[in-house]
Amino acid sequence: MAKKETVNLIVKGGAATAGPPLGPALAGKGINIGQVVKDINEKTKALAGMDVPVKVVVDPAAKSYEIRVGLPPASALLKKEAGLEKGSGAAGKKIVSALAIEHIIKVAQTKSDALLGNTFKNKVKELLGTCVSLGIKVEGKDPRQVIKEVDSGIYDKELKAEKTELNAEEIAEWQEQKAQVTRELEQIERAAAQATAAAQAAETAATVPVAGAPASGPEGAAAPVKAEEKKPEKKKPERKKMR
């Protein structure tokens, strides 16, 4: 009985082709490569543009296959949705982007098997906690506040429907939230630059001698200023009294 063969690949999410590396790796194994490509793209479409690890387990005797898709960490998926290359680096303090609750639901669907939560709502809350670490607002708020709102049932409709699409109005609102974060970041950076420039100017001013200041002594100490001698006042002759 022929053993199953496992082919390990890295493909672009939603954009696999029959060319290298996939085509040559599967050639001669008795399976329809075009169908494999189609199935891989369907399973990885949510990871469009990302490098995705994929295993194709082939049964040559049955001429069948199984596709197993590996996933990037949840943090990488959230950064992708937020358009970030990296997180803020200052958890809970520096905000660098914004997401809508639909983005969180989308990642929860994609990473469902790997998340620890025992319910879909808990998986969403787990991802909201990751947003705190990354410096990402959700619905224009601190993710910790959104966790409380999830518990209170505010997003039950979206969670129950597992809503992942935004309508035109929701897209505009989300983009404005991202723009607001960008403006706030620019203000912080300008303030930091101004503070640095002021500190440098103050340091420079402290080291530059003031014109007209007394010269330093041999050991760097200011030379003592000689007190101005006070001239004795001339006494005016006393006028003689008339008799």
Note the pLDDT of residue 215: 55
Helix 101-110 / helix 120-134 crossing angle, nearest 10 deg: 110
| Domain range annotation of the chain | 5-69, 74-189
Query: Which residue do the tokens 């101004």 mark?
Result: 194
Cα–Cα distance between 22 and 29 in angstroms, integer?
A: 12
Contact 62, 86 (CB under 8 A): no
How many CB atoms sit inside 10 A of residue 115's CB? 19
Note the pLDDT of residue 85: 82
Q: What pTM did the predictor assign?
A: 0.63
Task: Name beta bridge partners: 12.
Answer: 51
Note the pLDDT of residue 233: 62
Instruction: Report how far apart, in Å, the C-alpha atoms of 119 and of each of 14, 104, 155, 159 are.
Output: 28, 14, 14, 11
How many CB atoms sit inside 10 A of residue 53's CB? 14
Pick the CATH number of 5-69 from 3.90.1110.10, 3.90.1170.50, 3.30.390.30, 3.30.1550.10: 3.30.1550.10
Point out the residues of the chain with pLDDT beneath 50: 242-243
Cα–Cα distance between 16 and 38 in angstroms, integer?
A: 8
Backbone angles phi, psi at 6, to 5 degrees: -110, 125
Indicate the class that CATH gives domain 74-189. Answer: mainly alpha
Note the pLDDT of residue 173: 95
Note the pLDDT of residue 243: 44
